[in-house]
Structure 1
Amino acid sequence: MKVRAAVVGLGWAGHELWLRLLREHEDFEVVAVVDPDLGSRAAAVATGLPAHATVDALDPRTVDVAVVAVPNHLHAEVAAALLRRGISVFLEKPVCLTTAEADVLAEAERDGGMLLAGSAVAHRGDVRELAGLLPELGRIRHVGLAWVRARGVPQPGGWFTQRSKAGGGVLVDLGWHLLDVLTSLLGPAPTTQVIGSVSDDFVNNGAWSAAWREDQPTGASAGDVEDTARGFLVREDGISVSLLASWASHEALDASVITIEGSAGTARLHCTFGFSPNRAPEPVLTLTREGTTQRIPLPAEPIGIEYGRQLDGLAGLLADPGRRGLAVAQARGTVRLVERFYASARAARPADRAPESTAHKEVRTA
């Protein structure tokens, strides 16, 4: 029997990504969509899908899982409402924006549906090949994580660049992916030290926007989030982590780089995460030991295949009661790290210049 799915939110991710992937996947049947915009609902109805303005119209007797693709500030609210109705939820990053929202989700899941969190990068073939090299590296000492776009500020003037709606800038957007892949490679571990800095040189200049998303300027107020985040972390297991996430830069191409240094060797993956067409020609994975670098063969994969792969095992996860509570626990750890990162960046800001992101004054902790 197919899993009956609803898509909540018909913006770029909901319409161009999740609705299409669910319709193409043999394990799922799309039974409804939800969006407050009348035009988006009308377009869905024209394709034969029931469309609703709010999640209150969804019934757990006819919907097994809701894929939530709404703006960040609505993630916890919408997901909690669905969970309380007994409908399981698949929610991509960020799962929540504060530890208080994590508490809300935990309570809603306790007596309702199950919450599953999306993490696409770990499902890439090249990342899996990188993971396969870990036993050859000896004791892991350091991990370098970077995702740098050439021109990729999303939705100029829209919710992505408003702290009140996005929860932060590139750290919450691309940085969350990097932190997720770190956990997928090395497992979870508390972070004992966090040093971070942020800058906003590009966020309010439309010339640095992600044209490939086809976003239209909204006419909203200037963005108040960072477009670049640089940090250094130390985990409880002694592994250090450098992190660089940037929506825009002076680079020619978008690049995602993961470097893992161990006592017996270093592995490095250079590729491009996400859907930007401004990307490296092909991913390159290397293993370096005692002065010799070996290139590791990688499978050729279409752009974005990692998103569809998340759906391959989703039905099994929904049937596993042992998954309950895991997504919230991991999200709680990530959002605490993000809060500490922003607090460090705020404390390190030079006294003679204005805040890089005024919203960082409002970081909440539990």
Structure 2
Amino acid sequence: MSAAHPGGRPIRTAVVGLGWAARSIWLPRLRLHPAFTVNAAVDPDPASRESVAVDHPGTPVLAAVHDVDPAQVDLAIVAVPNHLHCEIASGLLRKGVPVFLEKPVCLTSAEAEQLAEAERVGGARLLAGSAARHRADIGMLLASVGELGHVRHLELSWVRARGVPDAGGWFTQRQLSGGGALVDLGWHLFDIAAPLLGSAEFTQVTGAVSGDFIAQDTARVSWRAEEAQGNGRAAAGPVDVEDTARAFLVTEGGISLSLHASWASHEELDITRIRVDGSAGSATLRCTFGFSPNRLPRPELTLTRDGGTHPVPLPEEPVGTEYDRQLDELPALLRDPAGPGRAIEEVRRTIGAIERVYSSARAVQEK
């Protein structure tokens, strides 16, 4: 691989927030990737800093994000709880530090504008993290769309059999998370739709939310040890978010989109289903996003045209490969002269749609 940084050296990276995502996804991959070097790991929690120091000896650990030196960092990967995304990312951007921000990038349209202003003032680039678009099966699905004629409808669903994260912690407190399954899983689904919708805005949005499973212990996430056992950091609080969201949206160009995001359900397996209906055919992908072990054994992509359905061969890849691909692409994104402002445009539409789904759901509940 060629040098990642214009100066001929690896990209000096700070990982901000040392929870499950940082320790299980980002730090191990960054340590192995030749285009990156970890210059700092940041978290106010002493136990988290100690854990990283043990697992990744030699990595400088800091207690506060304001201790990150812009002269020593080319990129910050921000993986903090949702309610801190805008504050921390904006602070870094204003200091001139490019930011790769985990989804959800922001919790309100007002926060999206704060990020846009910080990017402009600091002259640093905001990159939005959302792994699903980097999966090989999603790539094959998107590549097949050219055979389908004019896109008429998208069906997007990510339904877990069980997978409520951190019940009683920040994930299930609206003030800290911004919402439940719609914010957590739905953001990935909207990200899949983005290449198919282009710059089209949603003119019609309606939605409903429910919470039939969220209080059940049997519905809790099983693959994140810190949440299954309690991470000792987040005090138990109110559970006031949804475990399921359903929505129907229509763009100004007449493309309709149905969305179904669930942390828990009556299903046996965790299944993601993406279907694209066009004027000349349809494509359907069944797979399982994320790291859940309760998954389909392999993804399945089919094309249907003229009354016949046939499978499309898909490459096999280990769970989590999509995160490796994100890192592979980051150096080019950081150098792309057309990059500034690009992420925030998609962010504005996504958070705007999520806000309108919640508004529609509240209007029904308040009657």
Q: Normalising by structure 2, what TM-score?
A: 0.93
Matches within 5 A, 1:333-348: 333-348=349-364
Is 1:204–1:222's contact at 8 Å kept on the other side of the alignment?
no
> Per-residue displacement from partner, 1:147-200 (whole Å, max 9, x unpaired)?
000000011111110000000110000000000010033423100100100000
Is 1:122–1:184's contact at 8 Å kept on the other side of the alignment?
no
Aligned to 2:6: none
Aligned to 1:55: 65
1:28 aligns with 2:44: no
Is 1:109–1:115's contact at 8 Å kept on the other side of the alignment?
yes
Aligned amino acid, residue 26 of structure 2: W
Matches within 5 A, 1:299-314: 299-314=315-330
CA distance in 1, matches of 2:363, 2:66: 43
> Per-residue displacement from partner, 1:177-226 (whole Å, max 9, x unpaired)?
00001003342310010010000011122210011112134551231000
Aligned amino acid, residue 78 of structure 1: I
Aligned to 2:171: 160
Aligned to 1:255: 271
CA distance in 2, matches of 1:321, 1:101: 25
Moved more, 196-205 or 40-49: 40-49
Pick from 37, 44, 52 the counterpart of residue 45 of structure 2: 37
Aligned amino acid, residue 224 of structure 2: R
Aligned to 2:243: 227
Aligned amino acid, residue 342 of structure 1: Y
1:2 aligns with 2:18: no
Pick from 275, 278, 299 the counterpart of residue 283 of structure 1: 299
Aligned amino acid, residue 340 of structure 2: R
CA distance in 2, matches of 1:329, 1:259: 24
Is 1:68–1:89's contact at 8 Å kept on the other side of the alignment?
yes
CA distance in 2, matches of 1:143, 1:328: 23
Structure 1: runs of 5 or more not aligned: 352-366
Aligned to 2:5: none
Is 1:7–1:69's contact at 8 Å kept on the other side of the alignment?
yes
Aligned amino acid, residue 102 of structure 1: A
2:185 is paired with a residue of what secondary structure?
Answer: helix
- TM-superposed deviation, 1:350: 6.8
- Check 1:339–1:283 CA distance in 2 against 1; reply closer, same or farther (3 A cut): same
1:164 is paired with a residue of what secondary structure?
Answer: helix
1:133 is paired with a residue of what secondary structure?
Answer: helix
Aligned amino acid, residue 104 of structure 1: Q
1:292 aligns with 2:308: yes
Aligned amino acid, residue 61 of structure 2: A
1:188 is paired with a residue of what secondary structure?
Answer: coil
Structure 2: runs of 5 or more not aligned: 1-8
CA distance in 2, matches of 1:250, 1:219: 29
1:15 aligns with 2:23: yes
CA distance in 2, matches of 1:219, 1:97: 21
Aligned to 1:355: none
Pick from 185, 198, 202 the counterpart of residue 174 of structure 1: 185
Is 1:73–1:167's contact at 8 Å kept on the other side of the alignment?
yes
2:325 is paired with a residue of what secondary structure?
Answer: helix
Is 1:141–1:261's contact at 8 Å kept on the other side of the alignment?
yes
Pick from 92, 100, 103 the counterpart of residue 82 of structure 1: 92
CA distance in 2, matches of 1:279, 1:45: 33
1:321 is paired with a residue of what secondary structure?
Answer: coil
Aligned to 2:260: 244
Aligned amino acid, residue 346 of structure 1: R
Is 2:108–2:352's contact at 8 Å kept on the other side of the alignment?
yes
Pick from 71, 82, 91 the counterpart of residue 81 of structure 2: 71
Pick from 174, 198, 203 the counterpart of residue 192 of structure 1: 203
Is 2:194–2:346's contact at 8 Å kept on the other side of the alignment?
no
Measured on the aligned residues, the alpha-carbon RMSD in Å equals: 1.2
Is 2:23–2:52's contact at 8 Å kept on the other side of the alignment?
no
Q: Normalising by structure 1, what TM-score?
A: 0.94
1:91 aligns with 2:101: yes
